[in-house]
């Protein structure tokens, strides 16, 4: 953003705040009472995203929460607690982190420290927690990857793992990503898949349900939000699980998208609806929008990004089946995408690197505020 654009956008924010007070927009046009209320909600400095989300009964989650800033950067926690209704740890509950050893065959093999710290923080901040994730093909400990377990042993390992974690956080984690990216896996690299076969999925759901019958259990998949071959496969798999009588409550649409490949809103809505027709819920679990995939000015990229965030918020509000939207990170400063894309300029989230609210933040707020005035 150059100086002129920065000034214009600062003036824009100021004018919006004034607008709400005077009932006039920046051109002097009179706003309706409803528009004024929306402006007040969007720009009112004391009105947070979470306070609006609570009004419409949607969960707005801070996902991908990382331990380093969590412990070291007080502003990180402040913004999470202020703006979001739920928290998803980024790595603290992954197999390799939470279950790093296999020496004792009991809880001494686990490291609950970081997951516990995040849960305690979330509870103190009156936030819910999504558990992420019980079975994935990545971030597994070496003892599991290289353990040469036979099928019976692997079922035992998976069962112990799931029962230990889910029962420890019983009634505290409201939803679990039981299996993560099961259609994305490189079958060579997931010992649990190799050793157990595709039945690892219904088994994982069964162990999780038995350990906490009140937790919502999700099948979390990436790049399966539009209607295409992959989302059809997700649909088919969850139909099969339901037919087999497996307890599954929902599908997680990760929603890692970009300005170059924005989600197709009509397809996302239809996809959500067909899952809803099966009696399932949909959570948008890991949303972020890569900016550095098109050539344009920063201001234009941020506006385009805001449109995508706003659009997905609206789709989720419109489709009853969608009850949660979580972003994967909160500030551009710590997004996993900076490292992954090797581009320090990436700005995929709702808050910039200095914790200033971005157009995307206001776009999400605006869609929720529009819904509030309709209630």
Q: Which residues pair with 284 in a beta bridge?
A: 253, 325
The least CB distance from residue 338 to ligand 9MR, in Å, is 11
Q: How many residues bind ligand 9MR (CB under 6 A)?
A: 11
Looking at 254, 291, 313, 324, which residue binds ligand 9MR (CB under 6 A)? 254
How far is the C-alpha of 55 from the C-alpha of 196, rounded, in Å?
A: 45
Question: Is 116 within 8 Å of 161 (Cβ atoms)?
Answer: no
| Residue list 23-42, contact with ligand 9MR (CB under 6 A) | none
Q: Does 141 bind ligand 9MR (CB under 6 A)?
A: no
Looking at 95, 200, 336, 351, which residue binds ligand 9MR (CB under 6 A)? 336
Q: In the complex with ligand 9MR, which residue's Cβ is closer, 179 or 259?
A: 179
The least CB distance from residue 275 to ligand 9MR, in Å, is 19
Residue 225: both structure tokens together: 């939000």
Looking at 61, 64, 182, 348, which residue binds ligand 9MR (CB under 6 A)? 64
Q: Does 112 bind ligand 9MR (CB under 6 A)?
A: no
Question: Residue 154: enclosing H or E segment and its boundaries?
Answer: helix 151-168
| Chain position carrying tokens 């929306």 | 38
Q: Does 182 bind ligand 9MR (CB under 6 A)?
A: no
Q: Does 91 bind ligand 9MR (CB under 6 A)?
A: yes
How far is the C-alpha of 201 from the C-alpha of 185, rounded, in Å?
A: 13
Looking at 85, 180, 231, 271, which residue binds ligand 9MR (CB under 6 A)? 180
Q: Does 138 bind ligand 9MR (CB under 6 A)?
A: yes
3-class secondary-structure state, position 289: strand
Q: In the complex with ligand 9MR, which residue's Cβ is closer, 237 or 327?
A: 327
Cis check: omega of the bond before 133, within 30 degrees of 0: yes
**What stretches of the chain adopt beta strand conformation (E)?**
59-65, 86-89, 128-135, 175-180, 216-221, 250-253, 256-258, 281-290, 322-328
Q: In the complex with ligand 9MR, which residue's Cβ is closer, 139 or 189?
A: 139
Which residue, among 285, 310, 242, has the nearest Cα to 42 in the 3D structure?
Answer: 310
| Chain position carrying tokens 């994982």 | 204
How far is the C-alpha of 313 from the C-alpha of 363, rounded, in Å?
A: 9
Tell me if residue 83 is catalytic. Answer: no
Q: In the complex with ligand 9MR, which residue's Cβ is closer, 93 or 369?
A: 93
Q: In the complex with ligand 9MR, which residue's Cβ is closer, 253 or 321?
A: 253
172 CB-contact burial (10 Å; exposed 0-12 / middle 13-18 / buried 19+): middle
Q: In the complex with ligand 9MR, which residue's Cβ is closer, 64 or 182?
A: 64
**What stretches of 233-316 adopt beta strand conformation (E)?**
250-253, 256-258, 281-290
Tell me if residue 120 is catalytic. Answer: no
Looking at 222, 264, 293, 323, which residue binds ligand 9MR (CB under 6 A)? 222
Q: Which of 286, 292, 319, 346 is catalytic?
A: 286
Question: Is 90 within 8 Å of 61 (Cβ atoms)?
Answer: no
Which residue, among 116, 115, 109, has the nearest Cα to 132 in the 3D structure?
Answer: 115
| Chain position carrying tokens 């989720």 | 316
How far is the C-alpha of 254 from the C-alpha of 132, rounded, in Å?
A: 12
| Residue list 266-305, contact with ligand 9MR (CB under 6 A) | 286
Q: In the complex with ligand 9MR, which residue's Cβ is closer, 64 or 195?
A: 64
Q: Which of 181, 221, 346, 370 is catalytic?
A: 181
Question: Is 286 within 8 Å of 255 (Cβ atoms)?
Answer: yes
The least CB distance from residue 61 to ligand 9MR, in Å, is 13
Strands 128-135 and 216-221: unpaired
Q: Does 90 bind ligand 9MR (CB under 6 A)?
A: yes
Q: Does 346 bind ligand 9MR (CB under 6 A)?
A: no
| Catalytic residue list | 181, 286
- Which residues of this protein are in contact with ligand 9MR, per CB under 6 A? 64, 66, 90-91, 138-139, 180, 222, 254, 286, 336
């Amino acid at each position: 953003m150059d100086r002129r654009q920065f000034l214009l956008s600062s003036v824009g924010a100021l004018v919006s705040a004034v607008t709400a007070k005077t009932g006039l927009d920046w051109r002097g046009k009179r706003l309706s009472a409803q528009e004024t209320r929306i402006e007040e909600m969007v720009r009112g400095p004391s009105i947070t995203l979470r306070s609006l989300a609570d009004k419409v009964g949607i969960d707005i989650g801070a996902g991908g929460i990382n331990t380093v800033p969590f412990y070291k950067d007080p502003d990180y926690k402040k913004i999470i607690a202020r703006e979001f209704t739920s928290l998803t740890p980024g790595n603290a509950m992954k197999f390799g982190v939470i279950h790093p050893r296999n020496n004792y065959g009991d809880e001494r093999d686990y490291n609950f420290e970081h997951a516990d710290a995040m849960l305690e923080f979330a509870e103190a901040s009156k936030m819910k927690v999504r558990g992420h994730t019980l079975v994935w093909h990545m971030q597994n400990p070496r003892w599991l990857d290289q353990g040469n377990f036979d099928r019976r042993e692997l079922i035992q390992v998976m069962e112990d793992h799931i029962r230990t974690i889910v029962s420890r956080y019983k009634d505290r984690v409201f939803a679990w990503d039981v299996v993560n990216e099961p259609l994305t896996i490189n079958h060579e690299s997931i010992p649990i898949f190799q050793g157990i076969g595709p039945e690892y999925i219904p088994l994982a759901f069964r162990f999780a349900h038995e350990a906490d019958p009140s937790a919502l259990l999700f099948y979390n998949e990436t790049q399966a939000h539009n209607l295409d071959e992959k989302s059809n496969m997700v649909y088919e798999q969850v139909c099969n699980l339901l037919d087999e009588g497996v307890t599954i409550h929902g599908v997680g649409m990760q929603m890692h998208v970009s300005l170059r490949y924005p989600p197709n809103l009509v397809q996302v809505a239809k996809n959500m609806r067909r899952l809803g027709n099966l009696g399932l819920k949909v959570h948008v679990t890991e949303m972020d929008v890569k900016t550095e995939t098109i050539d344009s000015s920063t201001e234009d990229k941020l506006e385009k990004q805001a449109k995508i965030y706003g659009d997905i918020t609206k789709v989720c509000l419109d489709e009853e089946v969608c009850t949660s939207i979580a972003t994967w990170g909160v500030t551009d400063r710590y997004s996993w995408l900076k490292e992954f894309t090797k581009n320090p300029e990436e700005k995929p989230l709702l808050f910039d690197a200095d914790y200033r609210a971005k157009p995307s933040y206001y776009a999400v707020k605006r869609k929720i505020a529009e819904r509030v005035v309709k209630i």
